Amino acid sequence: MFALNRLFMGLMLSALLVSACQPIQAPAQDQTPPVPQGLRPDAPPYAVRGSFAVGYQPLVSGEGTERPLEVSLWYPALNPTGEREEVTYDMKIKDATWVGDPQTVVYGHALLNAAVDDSQGPYPLVIYSHGFSGSAAGYSASAEHYASYGFIVLAPEHTEQFDPSWGDLWKSSIDRPADMKQTLDYAERLTAPGGDLAGLIDMEHVAVVGHSYGGYTALAMAGAQYDLAAYNARCAQVPADDWHSFLCTPLVPNEAAMAARAGLDPMPEGL
C-alpha cells in the first residue's frame, strides 16, 4: 500500500520541515505535563518536553540483505525509577574532505533500550529524514521531543557522502525516497503481530519530516516528481558563478543514470 508510483521526483532544498499524509495529533495523555523549566528557564511553551519518558534504540532494517539500512528509533518509554534520561549517540562524519577522526558523538536525553510505554498506544509515526551527508543523531533533539509527546520516530541513516563536486547528489536523489519507503515498510513489520512493537504504531497516522535535503526527501515521499524540462531550462539561465549552479552540475548530466537507478526504462518523458 505504500509503494511509490515513481522515485523520480521533485527537488526543493529550501524546505525545512515538510509533513505528508494525514494530519496527526498526539494521543490524549492522563499524565500531568511537566513544569515548563526544561534545559532553559526561559523556554517557550512549544520547547517544553512532553510527559512521556523517551526511549532510544539503534536498529537495522533489511539486515542480512543486499540493502541493510541503519534506522534510529525513538519512542514513548517507561521510566519507573525516575532514571535520568541520558544517552550518547554515535555519529559518523560523511565528508570526504574531513581531516581527523570521522566519528563523533552527540549527547542526548533518552533511555537506551528502555521498555516501551504501551499504555496509550498505538502511537502515530514520524519518519525523519536528515540533511544531505548528515546523520540522524544530529537531529536527535527534535526526535526526542516528538517522542516525549507520544510519537514513535524512525529515522533512516542515508548513506551519501559530501565532496566538493556533490558527486553523490544524483544517486541520493533516488536512494533517499527508497530509504524512506524501506523505513515505512519496516514500521509495518515492527507493529505487525509478533513484531517488536506489535500493535503500537498507528500506521493510519504517519508524517514524513525532513530538513534541507530531507525536505526534498519528504516531498518525494509524498509523490513530488522531477520536472526535467523546467529544471534544464532553469539551469540554462543560471550563470556559472551563481551559487545556485551547484544544484545543476551534479544532476543535469546524470538524468539517464538517475532514471536507470530508479528502475525507469526507458527514460520517461515529462513528469
Last residue of one domain, picked from the residues 209, 224, 239: 224
Q: Between 187 and 225, whose confidence is greater?
A: 187
Q: Give the mean pLDDT of 225-238.
A: 90
Q: What is the pLDDT of residue 117?
A: 97
Which DSSP state fits 198?
Answer: T
Shared domain for 144 and 241, answered yes or no, is: no
Q: Between 92 and 197, whose confidence is greater?
A: 197
The residue behind cell 560523511 is: 94
Q: Give the mean pLDDT of 129-149.
A: 96
For residue 128, being part of any structural domain is answered with yes
Question: Residue 25 contacts by C-beta under 8 Å, 6 or more apart in sequence?
Answer: 124, 205
For residue 82, being part of any structural domain is answered with yes
For residue 117, being part of any structural domain is answered with yes
pLDDT of residue 1 exceeding 50? no
Closest CA to 3 of 184, 159, 169, 140: 184
Q: Prior bond to 122 cis, omega within 30?
A: yes
Beta strand extents in the chain (DSSP E only)? 53-61, 69-77, 87-92, 103-108, 111-112, 123-129, 152-156, 201-210
pLDDT of residue 136 exceeding 50? yes
| pLDDT classification of 38: cutoffs 50, 70, 90 | low
Q: What is the pLDDT of residue 243?
A: 85
Shared domain for 203 and 246, answered yes or no, is: no
Percentage of the residues of the chain whose pLDDT score is greater than 70: 86
Shared domain for 211 and 232, answered yes or no, is: no
How far apart CA 161 and CA 247 sit, in angstroms, is 16
pLDDT of residue 6 exceeding 50? no
For residue 180, being part of any structural domain is answered with yes
**Average pLDDT in the chain:** 85
For residue 243, being part of any structural domain is answered with yes
Question: Number of H helices and number of E strands within the chain?
Answer: 5, 8
Shared domain for 245 and 218, answered yes or no, is: no
Shared domain for 95 and 145, answered yes or no, is: yes
The torsion defined by the Cα of 201, 206, 212 and 251, in degrees rounded to 10, comes to: 110
Shared domain for 198 and 80, answered yes or no, is: yes
pLDDT of residue 167 exceeding 70? yes
pLDDT of residue 116 exceeding 60? yes
Which pLDDT tens digit goes with each residue over 197-212? 999 999 999 999 999 9
Shared domain for 115 and 131, answered yes or no, is: yes
* Amino acid identity at 128: Y
Shared domain for 129 and 184, answered yes or no, is: yes
For residue 104, being part of any structural domain is answered with yes
Shared domain for 214 and 240, answered yes or no, is: no
Which of 170-174, 184-188, 263-267 shows the lowest mean pLDDT across its residues? Answer: 263-267
Q: What is the CATH number of the domain that holds 214?
A: 3.40.50.1820
pLDDT of residue 155 exceeding 50? yes
Q: What is the pLDDT of residue 111?
A: 97
Q: What is the pLDDT of residue 44?
A: 83
For residue 17, being part of any structural domain is answered with no
Q: What is the pLDDT of residue 150?
A: 96
Sheet bearing 69-77, strands edge to edge: 111-112, 53-61, 69-77, 152-156, 123-129, 201-210
pLDDT of residue 159 exceeding 50? yes
| pLDDT classification of 94: cutoffs 50, 70, 90 | very high
Shared domain for 197 and 251, answered yes or no, is: no
pLDDT of residue 39 exceeding 80? no
Distances (CA, A) of 247 to 6, 113, 133, 212: 21, 40, 15, 13
Shared domain for 140 and 193, answered yes or no, is: yes
Q: Between 66 and 270, whose confidence is greater?
A: 66
Q: What is the pLDDT of residue 33?
A: 43
Q: What is the pLDDT of residue 195?
A: 96
List, as one string, the DSSP characters of 136-161: GGGGHHHHHHHHHTT-EEEEE-----
Shared domain for 51 and 119, answered yes or no, is: yes
Q: How many domains does the chain have?
A: 2
For residue 208, being part of any structural domain is answered with yes
Q: Which domain holds residue 268?
A: 227-271
